[in-house]
């Protein structure tokens, strides 16, 4: 926690610490749950501890971390208070004996706050909560924020029924997200073994991927033999899905390291794709393709469940910079779409400026593009209108807000594209599908 609060990323930092610790099984899972849980609910924990501490900022960082972790156990994990207090007092006594009494006194008295501002209860900066409300409407913004405070399951994309059999042989509990949809498909997996030791992973039958990410890939609508440009392809997770569907994929990625990781992942899975290291703001000379995917760099505000440190670092200024980059990238991406072809814009973000704002920007500058519903529209929530929280009253599936031309945000106007809400372990995404005339 101390390292993450000083700029490190939680997932790799925790992984390194766990590998060095020698912990396994339940203990490893317990430390993971404590780390993620406390980082997700940091605002609530500090609010609960504040009345019991005179100068929390002056405490040694590891002592303050022990208070936060102990409070999380008691308030949100519902560990018996006597057990949590005893464990954290013993820990602090080994490192800072003079403050063991403070730990004992504070953790025995800590209580879950009954009254707190919404930004504290939802563990979001006030300005970011306002951004969620602008994009989703007030009711859905609260629902999304609360959803990302819950634990994240292990999601695997399976590429065939043999993967499910291999997981079951390893003693894993396997549950399909949507039974009967065919493959590739998302499965919720509970396994005692680490991912790298599961036969389904080692034999190239599965890859870690949130269901919302898989849905974004499937929304492009590709099939066998289709030519696809996967732009800002990252580590090739969606590239693998396109290849599994039989498409001929060219993946562009700015980072040579991420491109190399994508090659390695596809090799493990037994798929093939062409990989190019290139800057999309100045792309190489490529033949336009009938299917183009742009999963643009974004704020990641739809992934706060798995990346809670984002909300501690994101600023309004950096959000504006990201939106400016996305606008440049979508214009370049549109130039790579063949006549009659499809462009799918996706971001794992829940802000208006990164979603409908970018979609409107493209429609205003490229009149040959029009919106159409993504291939998988059943889970998409239309954005709030420019007037305010209209999404609160939206019922039923689909992307009804995608019909008709964008008008630049006139009062009460329908907004383009749709959101996947970050509920039940899923990440939040914005998707917009465009057709070139």
Residue 1 reports pLDDT greater than 60 = yes
Residue 160 reports pLDDT greater than 80 = yes
Query: In terms of domains, do 203 and 339 share one?
Result: no
Query: In terms of domains, do 268 and 163 share one?
Result: no
Q: Going by DSSP bridges, is the β-strand pair 418-420/185-190 parallel, antiparallel, or unpaired?
A: unpaired
In 3D space, the residue among 309, 391, 386, 377 whose CA is nearest the CA of residue 352 turns out to be: 386
Give the structural domain span for 343.
211-436
pLDDT given at position 245: 96
User: Residue 120: how many CB atoms within 10 A of its CB?
Assistant: 17
Provide mean pLDDT across the span 239-259.
Answer: 97
Query: In terms of domains, do 204 and 215 share one?
Result: no
Query: In terms of domains, do 256 and 164 share one?
Result: no
Provide long-range contacts, Cβ within 8 A and 24+ apart, for 136-139.
136/350, 136/381, 136/383, 136/384, 136/389, 136/391, 136/419, 136/421, 137/384, 137/388, 137/389, 137/390, 137/391, 137/392, 138/389, 138/392, 139/389, 139/391, 139/392
Residue 330 reports pLDDT greater than 50 = yes
Residue 399 reports pLDDT greater than 60 = no
pLDDT given at position 402: 34
Query: In terms of domains, do 232 and 271 share one?
Result: yes
Considering only residues 113 and 250, tell me which one the structure prediction assigns the higher pLDDT. Answer: 250
Report the distance separating Cα 150 and Cα 422, nearest Å.
10
The CATH number for 171's domain is: 3.30.70
Query: In terms of domains, do 204 and 242 share one?
Result: no
Query: In terms of domains, do 161 and 191 share one?
Result: yes
Contact criterion met (CB below 8 Å) for 281 and 287: no
* 139 found inside a domain: no
Q: What is the 3-state secondary structure (H, E, C) of 289-309?
A: EEEEEEECCCCCCCCCCCCCC
Query: In terms of domains, do 199 and 256 share one?
Result: no
DSSP 381-400: BPPPPTTS-GGGG--SSS-G
How far is CA 383 from each of CA 11, 71, 140, 355, 401, rounded to the nearest angstrom? 30, 37, 10, 9, 7
Residue 391 reports pLDDT greater than 50 = no
Residue 236 reports pLDDT greater than 60 = yes
Report the distance separating Cα 14 and Cα 3, nearest Å.
10
pLDDT given at position 404: 35
How far is CA 73 from its chain centroid? 25
Overall domain count for the chain: 3
Residue 385 reports pLDDT greater than 80 = no
Residue 393 reports pLDDT greater than 50 = no
13 token code pair: 């930092």
pLDDT given at position 376: 66
* 288 found inside a domain: yes
* 144 found inside a domain: no
pLDDT given at position 382: 81
Backbone angles phi, psi at 337, to 5 degrees: -95, 125
Provide mean pLDDT across the span 411-425.
Answer: 79
Residue 231 reports pLDDT greater than 90 = yes
DSSP 199-263: HHHHTTSEEE--HHHHHHHHTT---TT-EEEEET-TTSHHHHHHHHTT-EEEEEES-HHHHHHHH
- Using 50, 70 and 90 to split pLDDT, how confident is the model at 182? confident
Provide mean pLDDT across the span 375-393.
Answer: 55
Residue 350 reports pLDDT greater than 80 = yes
Domain end call among 174, 192, 208: 208
For the annotated catalytic residues, the residue numbers are 348
Residue 126 reports pLDDT greater than 90 = yes
pLDDT given at position 284: 79
pLDDT given at position 380: 76
How far is CA 244 from each of CA 207, 221, 247, 289, rounded to the nearest angstrom? 12, 13, 7, 18
Residue 357 reports pLDDT greater than 60 = yes
pLDDT in tens, 49-77: 999 999 999 999 999 999 999 999 999 99
Query: In terms of domains, do 174 and 220 share one?
Result: no
Peptide bond into 184 cis (omega under 30): yes
Contact criterion met (CB below 8 Å) for 222 and 228: yes
* 409 found inside a domain: yes
Provide mean pLDDT across the span 200-217.
Answer: 96
pLDDT in tens, 285-318: 899 999 999 999 999 999 999 999 999 999 999 9
User: 65-92 burial, b if ≥16 CB within 10 A, otherwise e?
Assistant: bbbbbbbbbbbbeebebeebbebbbebb
- Using 50, 70 and 90 to split pLDDT, how confident is the model at 21? very high
Residue 426 reports pLDDT greater than 80 = yes
Report the distance separating Cα 289 and Cα 229, nearest Å.
7
Residue 389 reports pLDDT greater than 60 = no
Domain end call among 93, 118, 143: 118
Integer-rounded Cα Rg, in Å, for the chain is 23
Provide mean pLDDT across the span 221-233.
Answer: 97
pLDDT given at position 212: 96
Q: Going by DSSP bridges, is the β-strand pair 337-347/289-295 parallel, antiparallel, or unpaired?
A: parallel
Contacts of 18 by beta carbon, 8 Å cutoff, 6+ apart: 28, 31, 32
Residue 25 reports pLDDT greater than 60 = yes
Domain end call among 188, 208, 228: 208
Considering only residues 232 and 181, tell me which one the structure prediction assigns the higher pLDDT. Answer: 232
- Using 50, 70 and 90 to split pLDDT, how confident is the model at 114? confident
Provide mean pLDDT across the span 92-112.
Answer: 96
Helix (H) or strand (E) holding 32: helix 25-40
Residue 405 reports pLDDT greater than 60 = no
Backbone angles phi, psi at 252, to 5 degrees: -105, 135
């Amino acid at each position: 926690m101390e390292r993450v609060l000083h700029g490190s990323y939680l997932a790799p930092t925790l992984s390194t610490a766990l590998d060095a610790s020698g912990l396994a099984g339940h203990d490893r899972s317990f430390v993971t749950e404590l780390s993620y849980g406390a980082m997700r609910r940091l605002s609530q924990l500090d609010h609960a501890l504040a009345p019991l501490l005179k100068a929390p900022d002056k405490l040694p960082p590891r002592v303050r971390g022990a208070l936060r972790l102990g409070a999380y156990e008691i308030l949100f994990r519902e560990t018996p208070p006597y057990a949590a207090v005893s464990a954290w007092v013993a820990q602090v006594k080994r490192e800072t004996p003079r403050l063991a009494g403070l730990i004992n006194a504070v953790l025995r008295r800590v209580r879950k706050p009954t009254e707190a501002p919404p930004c504290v209860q939802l563990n979001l900066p006030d300005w970011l909560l306002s951004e969620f409300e602008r994009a989703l409407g007030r009711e859905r913004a609260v629902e999304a924020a609360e959803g990302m405070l819950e634990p994240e399951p292990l999601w695997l994309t399976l590429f065939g029924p043999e993967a499910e059999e291999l997981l079951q042989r390893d003693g894993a509990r396997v549950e399909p997200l949507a039974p009967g949809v065919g493959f590739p498909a998302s499965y919720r997996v509970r396994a005692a073994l680490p991912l790298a030791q599961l036969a389904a992973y080692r034999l190239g039958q599965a890859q870690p991927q949130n269901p919302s990410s898989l849905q974004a890939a499937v929304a492009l609508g590709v099939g066998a033999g289709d030519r696809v440009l996967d732009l800002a392809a990252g580590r090739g997770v969606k590239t693998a899905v396109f290849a599994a569907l039989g498409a001929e994929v060219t993946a562009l990625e700015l980072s040579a390291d991420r491109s190399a990781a994508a090659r390695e992942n596809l090799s493990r899975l037994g798929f093939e794709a062409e990989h190019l290291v290139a800057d999309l703001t100045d792309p190489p000379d490529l033949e336009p393709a009938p299917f183009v995917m742009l999963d643009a760099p974004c704020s990641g505000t739809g992934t706060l469940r798995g990346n809670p440190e984002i909300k501690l670092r994101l600023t309004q200024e950096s959000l504006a910079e990201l939106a400016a980059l996305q606008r440049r990238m979508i214009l370049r991406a549109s130039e790579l779409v063949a006549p009659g072809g499809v462009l799918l814009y996706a971001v794992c973000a829940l802000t208006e400026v990164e979603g409908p704002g970018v979609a409107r920007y493209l429609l205003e500058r490229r009149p040959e593009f029009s919106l159409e519903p993504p291939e998988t529209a059943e889970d998409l929530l239309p954005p709030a209108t420019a007037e305010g929280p209209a999404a609160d009253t939206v019922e039923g599936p689909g992307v009804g807000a995608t019909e008709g031309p964008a008008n630049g945000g006139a009062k009460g106007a329908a907004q383009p594209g749709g959101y996947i809400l970050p509920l039940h372990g899923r990440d939040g995404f914005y998707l917009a599908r465009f057709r070139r005339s």
